[in-house]
Structure 1
Amino acid sequence: MLRRLLAVALCAAALLPAEPVPARAEEAVLNVYNWSDYIDPAAVERFQKETGVQVRYDVFDSLETLEGKLSAGHSGYDVIVPTSEPTFSRLVRAGALKPLDRAKLPNWSNQDATLLRQVESSDPGNRHGAIYLYGTVGLGIRADKVRELLPNAPLDSLDLLLKPEYAKRLAACGIAVMDSATDVLPSVLHWLGRDADSTDGADLQAAEKALLAIRPHVRAIIASGNILDALATGEYCVAMTYSGDVIQAKARADEAKQGIQLRYVQPKEGAQLWFDMLAIPADAPHPEAAHRFINFLLQPEVMAGITNAVHYPNAIPAATPLVEEAVREDPNVYPTPEMLARTFTVRALSPQAERARSRLWNRFKAGR
């Protein structure tokens, strides 16, 4: 329901008449391509009212979809939101992104310098992207259902999903894994005690063996947005996905008052930390409007509204006091320093390594 309301609100915002500030003709339209359920509709409406720029807003549900749109060139988009690894870094290396003009981004300095340094491995000098939101990869669980089937189950560990003896028992209440080799394989490798960026054949074989061992018990391998919807309605009791998806699903389930109790688990073994970036394609038709939009989003009150709407943390320290207390005090949204210390990031892989992982993932999906 929330997704439909967001979509309706965004469409309505896109149709609002241009108001106070006239934009030059070439800037009158801004084409945005973002993850689904990943914006505060009020932010889009406010930007339009303040600038006179009309926003055409499209959504995607996987990095593969985004890359497919960008790979052929002339996508028509002005602002995109790729994840730092691997998509954003690949686009940087391919020259597919326009370097940001800092002179047009006076709000750039609002970002957390420490977090910016963490994404420099993907974008040396932070030349091509500003941080939009960030989060971790972990588990969404219905603890009550899990406890019914496994009274002594380790609710704080990836063991819950990746140990076949647990997965077999939990199959009865539904297991899902998001369809993203990029975001699942590093966590599996890390759980195995291997390098999350490993390209070693033995490490990849170990990861494949672990995944195939639980494949008979996995009900669905689907886009994260679909996992969000299904978690909210109680279809799965364990799902591997993004932190914010689980937190959004919990909010929907709580609102529905159907007795579905959800929680997000950042695995004690350590969780993958990722960043979603605001970037401008090299051939963006409206680069001036794109810079205005990015600068607008980097305002503390705007980012606070987005975090309140989608329950992902932002990289603007001055926004934190403006975030609703229940959100900013939730360690699953804003991880504690101890939790952050256990996270890991991934780096870009060679095309050969990416192909090897893709083949591994396809075998996992096929179950052979």
Structure 2
Amino acid sequence: MKKLIITLVILLGICVGLGFGSHELTKSSGDNGNKVLNLYNWGDYIDPALLTKFQKETGYHVNVETFDSNEAMYTKIKQGGTNYDLTVPSDYMVQKMKADHLLIPLDKHRLTGMNHYGASFMNKSFDPGNRYSIPYFWGTLGIIYNDQMIKPGTLTHWNQLWQSKYRDDIMLIDSARDVMGFALISQGHSVNTTSTPELLAARDKLNRLSPNVKAVVADEIKMYMAEGEAPIAVDWSGEASEMMTQNAHLHYVVPTEGSNMWFDNLVIPKTAKHFKAIYAFLNFMNRPENAAQNAKYIGYSTPNTDAYHLLPKAVRDDKQFYPPQNVIDKSEVYRNLSAQKVQEYNDLYLEFKMHH
């Protein structure tokens, strides 16, 4: 027995030395029994109880591996050597992965429940006809404010952020497309503009915002706002939802002139192996009761209209996370820009941060 254990330890050491992680070690059992699904997802982005329910219903075990950015996910899949069956890119990344031949088209004949999705969440510019993607969650970019310091109802436009009374009051999420984006919207331009004069004008306007900017931060923005460190922040609706559960004085608003509207989506990467499990899972998640359960757990907005109707009335009526149609109509989805334009956005944003 001891000899057998030693042999297994040596074999495991060889596997690890060759770069096989736990995910890859399940591959052979998964391919033989075909009873696994390898999901590559954002951290804490699915209700674990749903995975248990799915396994009980179907017998498929879901292995979950996580990433923290679209770019990290893209790089790992492009490099190969993985066997992910499903992943969850945002809008512009679906477009990029499609262009780089990293996705497998959906077999619509094997899908059920697609009729549950609202028309305004389908057939978007990043994937016309939803050939490759099913919407998972959606949200917006907006303004978070603390009602102990800011009178409710007073912040409804992007341009108000530039008012001198907000000196040293604003925290910004550290994101080039988003910060450049709201500056562009405030000047009546598209968040997807490729016009250098418009981008330069946005940079100049951001420089004029600098006196009002307390800090440009990443994930810690949630903690700072929850602890009342600043009266105002610009961040995503999903992050706002997390902050608001920790501090009842926080509110989220999408400016009336529109914003960025983002989508996270389920797609099949070219590494996929377990197609029966993939379609069983997609059809399971399309069911309104499951999508509603997931939305309650995550706190983000569901694109599944029939699931939306199963949510508590207080959630359905919350215009912070389910804004009226006229706001949705004015909001734009980020497009995958050329590498040269992405660099231009990043460079101008960096100039603003250095100016700040």
TM-score (normalizing by structure 1): 0.80
1:247 and 2:241 equivalent? yes
Higher radius of gyration, 1 or 2: 2
CA distance in 1, matches of 2:115, 2:153: 45
Change over 3 Å in CA distance of 1:47–1:364 after alignment to 2: farther
- Who is 1:10 aligned against? none
**1:222 maps to amino acid:** V
Deviation at residue 310 of structure 1 after TM alignment: 2.3
Q: Which runs of 5+ in 1 are unaligned?
A: 1-21, 255-260
CA distance in 2, matches of 1:303, 1:309: 10
Q: Does the aligned pair in 2 maintain the 1:135–1:313 contact within 8 Å?
A: yes
Q: Does the aligned pair in 2 maintain the 1:189–1:203 contact within 8 Å?
A: yes
CA distance in 2, matches of 1:295, 1:251: 31
Within 5 A, what are the aligned runs for 1:231-246? 231-246=225-240
2:194 alignment partner, one of 199, 223, 241: 199
- Who is 2:23 aligned against? none
Deviation at residue 201 of structure 1 after TM alignment: 1.1
**Per-residue displacement from partner, 1:124-182 (whole Å, max 9, x unpaired)?**
321110011111110111132235xxxx9941122343x16244242xxxx32222223
Within 5 A, what are the aligned runs for 1:218-233? 218-223=213-218, 225-233=219-227
TM-score (normalizing by structure 2): 0.83
RMSD: 2.7
1:52 and 2:59 equivalent? yes
1:129 and 2:133 equivalent? yes
Within 5 A, what are the aligned runs for 1:156-167? 156-161=156-161, 163=162, 165-167=164-166
Q: Does the aligned pair in 2 maintain the 1:23–1:52 contact within 8 Å?
A: no
Deviation at residue 26 of structure 1 after TM alignment: 5.2
Q: Does the aligned pair in 1 maintain the 2:168–2:213 contact within 8 Å?
A: no
2:260 alignment partner, one of 268, 272, 280: 272
User: How many residues of Structure 1 are paired with residues of Structure 2 in the alignment?
Assistant: 329
CA distance in 2, matches of 1:83, 1:333: 18
- Who is 1:323 aligned against? 311
- Report percent identity of matched pairs: 33
- Who is 1:39 aligned against? 46
Q: Does the aligned pair in 1 maintain the 2:112–2:286 contact within 8 Å?
A: no
1:301 alignment partner, one of 289, 312, 316: 289
Change over 3 Å in CA distance of 1:73–1:215 after alignment to 2: farther
1:361 and 2:326 equivalent? no
- Who is 1:188 aligned against? 183
1:100 alignment partner, one of 106, 128, 139: 106
Deviation at residue 294 of structure 1 after TM alignment: 1.8
**2:175 maps to amino acid:** S
Deviation at residue 99 of structure 1 after TM alignment: 0.9
CA distance in 2, matches of 1:343, 1:159: 16
- Who is 1:311 aligned against? 299
CA distance in 1, matches of 2:210, 2:40: 33
CA distance in 1, matches of 2:223, 2:232: 13
CA distance in 2, matches of 1:41, 1:186: 34
Bigger Cα displacement from structure 2, 287-296 vs 125-134: 287-296
1:27 alignment partner, one of 31, 34, 39: 34
